[in-house]
Amino acid sequence: MDLKEMKKKVFEANLELVKRNLVIYTWGNVSVIDRENKLVVIKPRGIAYELLTPEDMSVTDLEGNLVEGKLLPSVDLDIHLALYQRFSGIGAVAHTHSTYAAAWAQARRDIPAYGTTHGDHFYGNIPCTRDLQSCDVEGNYEKNTGNMIVDTFTERGIDPMQVFGVLAAGHGPFTWGTDAQAAVENSVILEELAKMAYLTEMIAVQPKSLEQFVLDKHFHRKHGADSYFYQSK
Ligand SMILES: [Zn+2]
């Protein structure tokens, strides 16, 4: 994809977060990576969405140096870069402070897989990271947040290509996908799952996670080599 096309996709994906009521003001950001040319395109920091144009998107190298554009990249760039570096299969990252997902992050709780809607999209609980230490926050806060996310997946043996999102403790959700549209879609779905899980806990006397065999069925009929959910693969 050429750079102009990448900027347009990132611009549209960022606006989609607003349209889906996942972000207000300047909260949230989406980026995409071009692994071949080693470039990342991300929303610039601190500019109101209604003032943004596709040309305003910031272009950086994989170390976070601005290579094109006048506007500074999102402050969360280093989180995105840490995810790109360690999750080699992903092509885009989205971040929001959507209400229900942020509430689970603030409660420091994984979002349990209570039902098949969850199983269709995320293969197991959506993990919440540990809290950062004060030295992590005083140091390179964003890079350490990204590393904390990656470590959570490594330590818990979670495949980022089967669980496409995470809750950063006390903060909010990050999601990813093969492209910008998929990353944003996963933010929309994660928020809906967070809401359903919250309501389940409000209603259920003893909330019960989906049985593993149902989770297996729902995830694998939609994802991977043996999927049959769509008209064609
Ligand atoms: Zn944030």
The per-residue pLDDT for range 110-139, each reduced to its tens digit, is: 999 999 999 999 999 999 999 999 999 998
Query: What percent of the chain clears pLDDT 70, i.e. is strictly above it?
Result: 100
Cα of 19 from ligand 1 centre, angstroms: 18
Cα–Cα distance for residue pair 179/76, rounded to 1 Å: 18
**Do the domain assignments include residue 46?**
yes
**Separation of CA 27 and ligand 1 centre (Å):** 7
Between the CA of 139 and the centroid of ligand 1 the distance, in Å, is: 17
Residue showing tokens 């003001």: 25
Specify if 162 maps to a domain.
yes
Does residue 216 fall inside a structural domain?
yes
Query: If you measure from the C-alpha of residue 37 to the centroid of ligand 1, how many angstroms do you get, rounded to a whole number?
Result: 27
Q: How far is the CA of 153 from the centre of ligand 1 (A)?
A: 19
Contact 95, 29 (CB under 8 A): yes
- Tell me, yes or no, whether 228 lies in a domain: no
- Quick one: pLDDT at residue 230? 85
In a domain, 230, yes or no: no
pLDDT score of 233 more than 70: no
Residue-averaged pLDDT of the chain:
96
Residue 170 CA to ligand 1 centre (angstroms):
10
Q: Is the pLDDT of residue 59 over 70?
A: yes
pTM: 0.96
| Model pLDDT for residues 15-58, shown as the tens digit of each residue | 999 999 999 998 999 999 999 999 999 999 999 999 999 999 99
Q: What is the pLDDT of residue 226?
A: 85
**Residue 52 contacts residue 14 (beta carbons within 8 Å):** yes
| Nearest one of 46, 49, 45, 83 to 66, comparing CA atoms | 45
* Distance from Cα 29 to the centre of ligand 1, integer Å: 8
Amino acid residing at 183: A
Is residue 185 a part of any domain in this protein? yes
Say how many Å lie between the CA of residue 172 and the centre of ligand 1.
6
CA of 98 to the centre of ligand 1 (A): 10
Strands in 80-219 per DSSP E: 92-95, 165-168, 172-177
Among candidate residues 12, 160, 25, the one with its CA nearest the CA of residue 97: 25
CA of 227 to the centre of ligand 1 (A): 34
With b meaning 16 or more CB within 10 Å and e meaning fewer, what string describes 5-17?
ebbbbbbebbbbb
- Confirm whether 142 is domain-assigned: yes
Domain that holds residue 60: 3-220
CATH classification at residue 101:
3.40.225.10
Span from the CA of 173 to the centroid of ligand 1 (angstroms): 8
In whole angstroms, give the CA distance from residue 26 to residue 42: 13
Query: pLDDT by residue (tens digit) across 133-190?
Result: 999 999 899 999 999 999 999 999 999 999 999 999 999 999 999 999 999 999 999 9
Vertex 107: Cα angle to 102 and 112 (nearest 5): 85
pLDDT of residue 65: 97
Q: Dig out the tokens for 224 from the structure.
A: 């991977």
Number of compact structural domains in the chain: 1
Ligand 1 centroid to Cα of residue 128, in Å, is 14
